[in-house]
Each structure stands twice: as C-alpha cells, then as structure tokens.
C-alpha cells in the first residue's frame, strides 16, 4: 500500500471536530450529547462568576433543540482585528481556541477555559442560532454543522443584554439526540448551588414543567438539603470561604461539609463551577486537612488509643462534603475536565481548610469527641473486617477456598473471558446453570431482594448473607478495600425478570455495586442482561422481541411477508419460565444475546440521584417521582 503526500489530509475549520468528536466531547453517546449543554451552560456561569450576570434561562425544547440564555455582557460582535472580514461572534463560534479566556483580562477565572466548547457545539449541531444583545442593539447569526449560514444581522434596538444560544445536535454524529430533561435539571441545580446569587430557570417543554433554582447559602444549602441535622454527628456544618490562597490573587475556595454515622460519605468537587467527578488536587487537599485535623484533636485531648492508628478511610467514610475552587489557569486531565491537576493547589487547599478546621473543632469539644469516637469505631471495624476477610482466589491444586454454596463456578480461570451471572431466585438460577457455557460462565442465584445499602448501617451490612455471598464470589473486597485487580470475572451481569420486581432487584444491586465497588462500574465491567418479553411466531419462524415497540415491528414485518399468515405472540412472565435452550439463545449466548453496559456519565449527578432514590428520605423519592412521572406514563407496569 502506497503512502505519499496525497495521503496527508488537512482538515479545515471544524471538520476535525466532526471527524473525531470523541476527542472533544468524549464520544457520541448520551453523556457526550449532554456535554454540549454543559459547555454552553459553563460559559453562562462564567459571566455570573465574573459579576456580569445573575440570571440564566435554560429551555429543553420538544423539537430536539436546547436554548441557554444569560443576561451577561453578550459576545462581542464588532470585526475581529485579526480577521477584519469576520465578526468576533463568528470567530468564537467557528474557530477552535478562539475566546476571551486566555489572557485573564476579560475573565479572572472561567470554566470554559480552552476556547473549544462553543465552537464544538457549533460543529456538532445541525443548526445553531446565536442572539446577542449588547450596547443597545440586538444581533443574530445562524450556523450549520460548523459553518455560517447567514451573515451577522442587526435586528434593531434592545434594552436587554446577554447571549442566547439555541442549538440542535446532529443525528449524523450522535446515536441518540434526545435530551433528558432530568439530567439538565440536575446539571442546573448543581451550578446554582455553586453561586449564591444566581437564578437559574429551566423550562422543560417536553413535559410542560418549570423549575427555578436560587440558593442564597450556596454550597452550605446543598449540605443542609442533603444531610438532615438529626443525621449529623456534629449539628453545625463546617463551612468556610477563602478569597485568596496564599499570596495568589483571583483564587477563591468555598466548602461545606459534615459527618454522618451511616458511613455514606461522598465528596463532590468543582473547579470554576465545572464538576470534577474524578476529583484531583483540591479533593486531596480537603482529605489531608480533615485527616490531620481529626488526628491532632484526638491526640491533644488524649482520645486516641496507643494501639490504634487512624487512617484516611476512617475519617472520610462518613464525610459528606462539597468543595468549590476558582483558579485563573486550571489544569485538567482531558477536554471533558473531570480531574484537576494543578500540583500546587493541594497544599494551598490543605493549609486554608486546616487553619479554619482546628478552631472549629476545639470550639465544640463534646460533639467533636463524638466525631472522634465514630472515627475510632470505624477503625476498629476496619481492623476486625481485615482479620475476618480471607482473600478469595481461584481454586487450584494447592488451594481450595470456600466460595458461596449457591455459586456454580466456571472452569476457565482467565478473567478476560469469564463472566458471572447474578440471577434472581433459584428457579431462574437452575435454568441459567443448565443454559450456561460451563467453561466461561458462572452463575450465582440470589434469594429475593438484597439489602438496600443506601439505608443500611454497617451491622446490617455485615450480617446480610446475600451481600456477603456477592463479595466472596467476586473476590475483590468492597468499599475502600475494593481492588479491581482481584476481581475474579471479566464481566458481572445482572440478570433479572423484565418486570417491576426484577427492576427493583436490579436497582438494589446497582446501588450496592456503585457505592461499594465503584471502580468496577467505572471500568465498564458491570452489565444488565436484556431478556426478551415476547416471542413472535409465524409458522416455523420465531423472533424474540425485547419490548412492546419491538414486538409491533416484528408483527408488522411478518404480516408484510404473508398477509394471511397467523401470528402467535407469547409473553414470558420471568426467566424461570424459559427452558434452558431458550434462556441460552435469548440471554446468555454471546452470539445472540443483548447486554446493556452500566456506565457513570456524571458522577456528581449519579451520586445525587442514587441518594434521592435509594436513601432514607421518602420525600426526596416522592419529589423525584413527581419530576419524572411523565417519562413512565406510557410504560408503567403496575
């Protein structure tokens, strides 16, 4: 095969973005689709942070469009000095690395720092319309797939100011171009917590719903809304704000946190209002400040037994925290900005928070002593669990290890080709054991619904037989002691009935895996089996259908071939109703089955949703149902 100058391509304008969208928005899936919204929303939030805007309006259209408006300064529309035949607006919308956030003169801090986001939205959208109101005039320009479709138009006088961007994602790029209003609502809610003065209004035209977010207390309101006072070890929140870190200007840090006895800790971090689900240096600084502060208090008050050492896990297990930092030149790993990497920030955050933490702890010695006792109890439980837990490895000629009694293991020991099916009940488990490929597929039946780990305490967790069977079968530990390297199977597949009970069991399992084996979920090792609901037959031909929509399509296809043919439809009530050959063909055979991989698109949003749906607060579940009820109207199975 030849290779010469004609093989070298030069991509003009935004063509490279359309060819390789994964480099800019992380893929072409639903998470990437909503990343477009985040890019525009973060630009609007930058105007808020800079003090030029206090209102943002977001409209999820029922025609597949998304509109975001702010009342900031408006994108400049005068001719660009370097490209005098183009307006600054056109340059920003159609050129990569064009923006006002590189020299810190227009924005001291910003989330849209790369000059990439808005032009990427233009490139990956069928249409993009921008309306700018500034200096008493109203301007408009339209773009299509990265190219200008109209010149900049002066629409006349206007008393308002700000920028409105309306766009429709390109179905040639994204597999699914339907916006999920609930994701947009949560995205806006989290941004509103991060700036105490901003009002964010969301209009959901799909469900004819409206939401408005204003949190005068900022991140403090988030913790108060998340953890009730009665659930806190220390009733008063540890909160604070620092306007500069060390001697550096334009840096600011805000945090709010508390501890709970439940051990359901989580840290949510943000940089320049952008969520950092993979954490980074600001989270590291928070952790070190908390660990050092608690240790020093315990030592000063003679509360720390000589034989016991407090680890970071002991302190952080019950910590619920939000930390928000603003930096003029943040450094992230990747364009999607999931992890903050500025090396010097960790020590600055640690020092700033610890300076506030020490007096806060000593001002309330009795409650802090309760906190230390809770930390010590976790340390004792950790040591006891470590002594109890035997590391489970594959059986070999020299080691016969005890695996759960109901586990039917596979022969192959190569993790890259093996998979574990977690099956609902003994009946389905029996069919699955006969249907499996005994060389590579293991089956673990579970009895009924497992423990809801989002509500259970450590004692219930330790006593639950089904949970312990899962942990033992997987062999990788759990919680802070989970090790992906020790996982005994390459795929973990949840296989439940396609009904309400099956969905509930799957939800409980998903909650357990997300909270206690998070690295496994993030590594893409967890799957949901997709058993069919229907078998559609005409004569000797039979086709399995996943749901009602697919069933109707199969029926239509059969009748198109033979109008006089008799179509027979049978519905499966559960996995146990299928005989082993059917279960193998529909749900377990690698050549014919369908699996849904479980992924975490937005860690902060996912954690919040899991807590709302599976946590102790019934009111949060009810509110979630109210917000999302219309999504289930057509498919509600009661």
Report pLDDT digits (tens) over 199-252: 999 999 999 999 999 999 999 998 988 888 888 899 899 999 988 766 656 688
Domain shared by 166 and 228, yes or no = no
Strand partners, 491: 419
- pLDDT for the residue numbered 107: 47
Q: Which of 499, 577, 585, 589 is catalytic?
A: 499
Give start and end residues of each alpha helix (H) in 142-301: 181-194, 219-226, 281-300
Strand partners, 137: 134, 157
CB proximity list for 9: less than 8 A, separation 6 or greater: none
Task: Tell me if 314 is assigned to some domain.
Answer: yes
Provide the CATH number for the domain around residue 344: 3.30.230.10
Separation CA 400–CA 356 (nearest Å)? 53
Q: Which of 497, 601, 608, 627 is catalytic?
A: 497
Which of 284, 252, 248 has its CA nearest to residue 267?
Answer: 284
Domain shared by 224 and 205, yes or no = no
For the chain, give the longest Cα–Cα distance: 88
Domain shared by 269 and 372, yes or no = yes
Higher pLDDT, 317 or 48: 48
Provide the CATH number for the domain around residue 196: 3.30.565.10
Higher pLDDT, 378 or 66: 66
pTM of the model: 0.62
- pLDDT for the residue numbered 520: 92
Number of structural domains, the chain?
2
Which of 632, 637, 630, 634 has its CA nearest to residue 207?
Answer: 630
What is the secondary structure of 92-123 as a DSSP string?
A: HHHSTT-SS-SSSSS-SS-S-TTS-HHHHHHH
- pLDDT for the residue numbered 13: 64
To the query of whether residue 426 is one of the catalytic residues in this protein, the response is: no
Strand partners, 537: 542, 568
Higher pLDDT, 331 or 133: 133
> Which of 388, 412, 434 represents a domain boundary (last residue)?
388
Domain shared by 174 and 56, yes or no = yes
- pLDDT for the residue numbered 7: 54
Domain shared by 281 and 363, yes or no = yes
Separation CA 406–CA 429 (nearest Å)? 9
Domain shared by 255 and 359, yes or no = yes
Domain shared by 49 and 159, yes or no = yes
Residue 396 has pLDDT above 50, yes or no: no
Task: Tell me if 317 is assigned to some domain.
Answer: yes
Q: Which of 501, 550, 577, 589 is catalytic?
A: 501
Separation CA 302–CA 293 (nearest Å)? 14
Separation CA 488–CA 474 (nearest Å)? 5
CA 132 to chain centre: 32
Task: Tell me if 266 is assigned to some domain.
Answer: yes
Mean local confidence (pLDDT), 470-484? 85
527-551 pLDDT tens trace: 999 988 888 988 878 888 888 888 8
Mean confidence (pLDDT) of the chain: 83
Mean local confidence (pLDDT), 314-333? 87
Higher pLDDT, 22 or 299: 299
- pLDDT for the residue numbered 327: 85
- pLDDT for the residue numbered 350: 94
121-177 pLDDT tens trace: 999 999 999 999 999 999 999 999 999 999 999 999 999 999 999 999 999 999 899
609-630 pLDDT tens trace: 777 777 766 777 777 776 666 6
CB neighbour burial string for 353-375, b if at least 16 within 10 angstroms, e if fewer = bbebbbebbeeeeeebeebbebb
Task: Tell me if 533 is assigned to some domain.
Answer: no
- pLDDT for the residue numbered 2: 59
Length of the chain: 638
Domain shared by 34 and 69, yes or no = yes
Strand partners, 446: 424
56: containing domain: 15-213
265-275 pLDDT tens trace: 788 899 888 88
> Which of 338, 373, 388 represents a domain boundary (last residue)?
388
> Which of 359, 388, 417 represents a domain boundary (last residue)?
388
Give start and end residues of each alpha helix (H) in 65-218: 88-94, 117-123, 181-194
Token digits of residue 344: 């010097």
Q: How confident is the model at residue 488 (pLDDT cuts 50, 70, 90)?
A: very high
CB proximity list for 598: less than 8 A, separation 6 or greater: 510, 513, 521, 524, 526, 527, 528
Strands 526-529 and 491-495, bridge-based pairing: parallel
Task: Tell me if 274 is assigned to some domain.
Answer: yes
73-82, 125-134, 210-219, 420-429: least confident range: 420-429
Domain shared by 111 and 252, yes or no = no
Task: Tell me if 405 is assigned to some domain.
Answer: no
| Portion of the chain with pLDDT greater than 70, in percent | 84
To the query of whether residue 499 is one of the catalytic residues in this protein, the response is: yes
Task: Tell me if 603 is assigned to some domain.
Answer: no
| Portion of the chain with pLDDT greater than 90, in percent | 38
Token digits of residue 401: 């290890």
Q: Which of 47, 283, 317, 424 is catalytic?
A: 424
To the query of whether residue 601 is one of the catalytic residues in this protein, the response is: no
Domain shared by 190 and 56, yes or no = yes
Domain shared by 190 and 260, yes or no = no
Task: Tell me if 455 is assigned to some domain.
Answer: no
Separation CA 488–CA 2 (nearest Å)? 46
Token digits of residue 257: 């946190």
To the query of whether residue 62 is one of the catalytic residues in this protein, the response is: no
183-188 contact pairs (CB < 8 A, 24+): 183/34, 183/602, 183/605, 184/34, 184/37, 184/58, 184/60, 184/66, 185/211, 185/627, 186/602, 186/605, 186/608, 186/609, 187/34, 187/37, 187/38, 187/41, 187/602, 187/605, 188/41, 188/56, 188/58, 188/213
Separation CA 217–CA 253 (nearest Å)? 15
Domain shared by 32 and 171, yes or no = yes
């Amino acid at each position: 095969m030849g290779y010469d100058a004609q093989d070298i391509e030069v991509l003009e304008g935004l063509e490279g973005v359309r060819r390789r969208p994964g480099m800019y928005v992380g893929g072409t899936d639903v998470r990437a689709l909503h990343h477009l919204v985040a890019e525009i929303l973060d630009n609007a939030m930058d105007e808020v942070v800079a003090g030029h805007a206090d209102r943002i309006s977001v409209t999820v259209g029922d025609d597949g469009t998304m509109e975001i408006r702010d009342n900031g300064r408006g994108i400049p529309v005068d001719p660009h000095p370097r490209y005098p035949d183009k307006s600054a607006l056109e340059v920003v919308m159609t050129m990569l690395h064009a923006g006002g956030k590189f020299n810190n003169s227009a924005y001291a801090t910003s989330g849209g720092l790369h000059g990439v986001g808005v032009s990427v939205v233009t490139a990956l959208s069928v249409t993009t319309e921008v309306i700018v109101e500034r200096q008493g005039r109203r301007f408009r320009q339209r773009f299509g797939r990265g190219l200008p479709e109209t010149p900049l138009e002066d629409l006349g006088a206007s008393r308002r100011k700000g920028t409105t961007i309306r766009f429709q994602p390109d179905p040639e790029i994204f597999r699914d171009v339907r916006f999920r209003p609930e994701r947009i609502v949560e995205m806006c809610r989290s941004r509103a917590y991060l700036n105490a003065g901003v009002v964010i209004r969301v209009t959901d035209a799909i469900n004819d719903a409206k939401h408005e977010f204003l949190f005068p207390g900022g991140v403090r309101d988030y913790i108060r809304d998340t953890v009730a006072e009665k659930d806190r070890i220390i009733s008063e929140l540890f909160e604070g704000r620092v306007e500069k870190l060390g001697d550096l200007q334009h840096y600011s840090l805000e945090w709010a946190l508390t501890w709970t006895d439940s051990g359901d800790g989580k840290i949510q971090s943000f940089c320049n209002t952008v969520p950092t689900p993979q954490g980074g240096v600001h989270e590291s600084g928070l952790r070190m400040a908390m660990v050092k502060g608690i240790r020093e208090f315990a030592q000063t008050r003679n509360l720390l037994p000589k034989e016991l050492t407090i680890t970071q896990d002991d302190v952080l297990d019950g910590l619920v925290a939000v930390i928000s930092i603003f930096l003029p030149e943040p450094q992230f790993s990747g364009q999607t900005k999931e992890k903050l990497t500025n090396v010097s920030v960790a020590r600055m955050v640690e020092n700033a928070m610890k300076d506030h933490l020490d007096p806060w702890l000593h001002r309330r010695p009795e409650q802090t002593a309760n906190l230390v006792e809770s930390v010590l109890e976790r340390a004792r439980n950790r040591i006891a669990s470590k002594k109890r837990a035997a590391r489970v490895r594959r059986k070999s000629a020299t080691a016969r290890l005890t695996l759960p009694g109901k586990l039917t293991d596979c022969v192959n020991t190569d993790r890259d080709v093996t998979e574990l099916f977690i099956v609902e009940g003994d009946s389905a488990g029996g069919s699955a054991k006969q249907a499996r490929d005994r060389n590579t597929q293991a089956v673990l039946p579970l009895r009924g619904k497992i423990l809801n780990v989002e509500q259970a305490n450590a004692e219930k967790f330790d006593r639950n037989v089904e949970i312990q069977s899962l942990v033992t079968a997987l062999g990788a530990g759990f919680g802070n002691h989970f090790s992906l390297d020790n996982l005994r199977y390459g795929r973990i597949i949840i296989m439940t009935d396609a009904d309400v009970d099956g969905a509930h069991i799957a939800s409980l399992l998903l909650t357990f895996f997300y909270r206690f084996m998070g690295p496994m979920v993030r590594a893409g090792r967890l799957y949901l089996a997709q058993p069919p609901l229907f078998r559609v037959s005409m004569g000797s031909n039979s086709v399995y259908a996943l749901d009602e929509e697919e069933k109707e399509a199969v029926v239509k296809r059969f009748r198109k071939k033979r109008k006089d043919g008799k179509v027979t439809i049978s519905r499966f009530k559960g996995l146990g109703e299928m005989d082993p050959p059917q279960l193998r063909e529909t749900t377990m055979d690698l050549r014919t089955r369908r699996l849904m991989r479980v992924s975490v698109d937005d860690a902060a949003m996912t954690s919040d949703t899991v807590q709302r749906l599976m946590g102790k607060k019934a009111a949060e579940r009810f509110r979630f149902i109210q917000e999302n009820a219309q999504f289930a109207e057509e498919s509600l199975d009661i």
